[in-house]
Amino acid sequence: MNILITGGAGFLGARLARALLASGSLSLRGAPARPIQQVVLADRGPAPADLAADPRVRSVQGDLIELVQRRDLPAAGTDLVFHLAAAVSAECEADFDLGMRSNLDTTRALLDACRALGSTPVFVFASSLAVFGQQPGQPPLGTMRDDTLPTPQGSYGIQKFICEQLVADYTRKGFIAGRSVRPMTVAVRPGRPNGAASGFFSGMIREPLAGERARIPVAPDTPVALASPTRTIEGFVRAAQASDADWGQRTGINLPSLKTTVGEMAAALEKVAGPQATALLDWQPDPAVDKLVRSWPGDVAWDRARSLGLRNDASFEAIVREYIEENPQAVRLALR
């Protein structure tokens, strides 16, 4: 089996690659599992050293839309594409053309290239919770279900929803076997902040644990739907494995969600690392970030994901402890 991961050198892409390579084989669309022969990691930067050292990994660097338009990707014989590469929320609001090129134009080009393969590859598209949004002047968002009509309130969410529809139509036409999944806000991400408006959800945990100050641009009562990296990767993989009958309709599905608030996240941090950690949190509202984040749902149902055997995180405290276990070198505070 040959697999392409766009955004493969990023945090989630690299983590997905490690999970696939560790398993050694994979079932596609309910078929018997086959050995994984090659994983192509496409990104602007190089693959992490551990992945580059694996003989089953090929790193392809460059601008994704240019690589696809030259037909460098996907290679003939590609069975499965995980399309994770994207410009993130704040970037898309700041630069409309960047978002359209990186998200919409690149996805359309990749879908056309998959169509040209003539082999109906499985195409797992990482959409976003941002396809849902609070419309101005309308009642507050309730529970967002798999079949709730998306009403995105930012360019990023709009681009992701358009791409969901493209994936559905290319699937309907038999060009690909598309699976659109909507990950929750992923926390806690290691490393430095990215350009996502949701980046502070990780920063408010990661930075204090490292002994650094962190700014929180929203109020403590801000609701959020979260998932750990582990649960998110499980969702990507299960989407590729599910048979057509188990997957059901072609529309996107919500991945498992942990419902919490920013204040409860801070409380979990204090439970793990004490008041010395929460003393490093600076509650400094940013109206622009607050408006965008509050337009996203904090209550997300995930019935279809549950029917596929997926599960959510037990608690945010468990997510924080998982981050600490996986990144001990990044923790400077004494823990409880």
**Four-point Cα dihedral 159, 183, 238, 49, nearest 10:** 90
Q: Reduce the DSSP state of residue 185 to 3 states and report it.
A: strand
Catalytic residue among 123, 156, 302, 316: 156
Report d(CA 85, CA 13) in Å as an integer.
8
Report d(CA 238, CA 80) in Å as an integer.
13
Q: DSSP class of residue 28?
A: -
Given a contact cutoff of 8 angstroms between Cβ atoms, the answer to whether 125 and 162 are in contact is no
Q: Which two tokens stand for residue 68?
A: 């696809």
Picking from 104, 93, 147, the residue whose alpha carbon sits closest to that of residue 293 is 93
**Cis peptide preceding 229, ω within 30 of 0:** no
Partnered with residue 60 across adjacent β-strands are 42
323 is catalytic: no
The three-point CA angle 63-4-240 to 5° equals 135
Catalytic residues: 156
